[in-house]
Amino acid sequence: MATLIAASSLLRQARLAQVLTLAWMCVELGVALGAGIMARSVALTAFGIDSGIELFTAAVVLRRLLQRTPSEERGELTAGERRASRLVGYGLYALVVYIVVSAGASLVLQIRPHASPAGLTLTILALAVMAFLWKWRIGLADRLGSPALRGDAACSLVCLYLAGTTLAGLVLNQVFGFWWADPIAGLVLVWWIRGEANEALDAGGPPANRLAAAVVGRYVGPGMSWLFGGRKKQQAPKANLDEQTLKQLAKAGADLAKPTHVISYLYVPDEMRARSAAGELVPAGYQVEVRTAASGPSWLALATITMVPSMENIALLRGRFESLATRLGGEFDGWEAAVTK
């Protein structure tokens, strides 16, 4: 009973967070688009269009949250949500084309944007508002087990980057008279928007397309990929990916009834938290290596344990690391297991 009440409270908070996100996206869309057109600002107009696309995704996720019941287990993207995600991806790529064409024309024809006090005010506010909404919604998504909410919360982080880049272009133009900074800022936005478009299309694909890949005789668990030397975010439901990865391990010849080395990746903001994680994991039988992350200002707690890779054991492992990541303000970035025959 207490669990059900807690789930109901979480669901109400998630719905409220999504309603507030919708309201703010409406403000961003109206102000940025209007101010951008009036000032002939490529960056500000692009920021407004992106806000309109994020308004659509936020509405889709709110609909999903309104349909969800407190007793529902950790969810997955529905077919309708995947279709909506694909539409978002295509729309973002259309925005990329608009930015490249508009910014190119502005630079070649030297179309000088006007100052935009409204745009400056909006982007400054967006930095504060979106930071709050991102942190709030990402926490709720993890506690609810909602991939749809988590994906939409990630858009808030992208919006932070967009707002910061747009603000830089506006300031350079308005304060220093560097008119070319605005179209250049617009072109910089392409980097963030392209990544957002790729993730939207990836999330909209069939679940089979989001399985982890085999690398050098090992199977990489959900959330990790060493292909091309980088990590690949996974959008499919975590439990489903764990199950599918174990099936792929079996197909590769692994005996899932035998103990094998399982390595987990926990990223945290600083060394103190990484060592705190190690302090909790070592008594539980893990060997933990604490080191700086290969990329980004973060630390990695690389935890190895010998265990039978059953679905039950992997679920317990995931629960332990996700809980630890939530408490330490970090991210559990998946697991990998050696193929033991």
- Phi then psi for residue 218, to 5 deg, are -125, 155
Quick check: 325 and 335 in contact, CB under 8 A? no
Class of residue 222 by CB neighbours under 10 A (exposed 0-12, middle 13-18, buried 19+): buried
∠ CA 141-143-147, nearest 5°, is 35
The span from the CA of 65 to the CA of 48, in Å, is: 25
Tokens of 270: 């600083």
pLDDT at 220: 38
Tokens of 78: 């529905």
pLDDT tens figures, 136-145: 887 787 677 6
pLDDT tens figures, 162-210: 888 889 988 988 888 888 888 898 888 888 778 767 766 766 655 433 3
- Of 91-95, 154-158, 206-210, 252-256, least confident by mean pLDDT is 206-210
Rg of the chain taking only CA atoms, in angstroms: 22
Q: Which residues pair with 300 in a beta bridge?
A: 267, 291
For the 2-205 domain, the top CATH level (class) is mainly alpha
Please write down the HEC assignment for all residues of 116-140. Answer: CHHHHHHHHHHHHHHHHHHHHHHHH
Q: Which residues pair with 265 in a beta bridge?
A: 302
**Which CATH superfamily, name and number, covers 210-338?**
RraB-like (3.30.70.970)
∠ CA 187-54-63, nearest 5°, is 165
291 SS3 class: strand
Which H or E element spans position 30?
helix 2-39
pLDDT at 127: 92
Burial state string for 268-280 with b = 16 or more CB within 10 A and e = fewer than 16: beeeebbebbbeb
Q: 2-205 and 210-338 share one CATH topology?
A: no
Residues in CB range of 82: below 8 A, 6 or more apart = 203, 204, 205, 206
User: What pTM does this model have?
Assistant: 0.56
Look at 226 and 176; give whichever has higher pLDDT.
Answer: 176
Q: Give how far Cα 111 sits from Cα of 44, 118, 181, Å.
A: 15, 20, 12
- Residue ranges covered by each domain of the chain: 2-205, 210-338
Q: Are strands 214-215 and 260-268 parallel, antiparallel or unpaired?
A: unpaired
The span from the CA of 179 to the CA of 183, in Å, is: 8
pLDDT tens figures, 313-338: 888 888 889 888 888 888 888 888 86
Sheet holding 260-268, edge to edge: 214-215, 218-220, 331-338, 260-268, 299-307, 287-292
Residues in CB range of 316: below 8 A, 6 or more apart = none
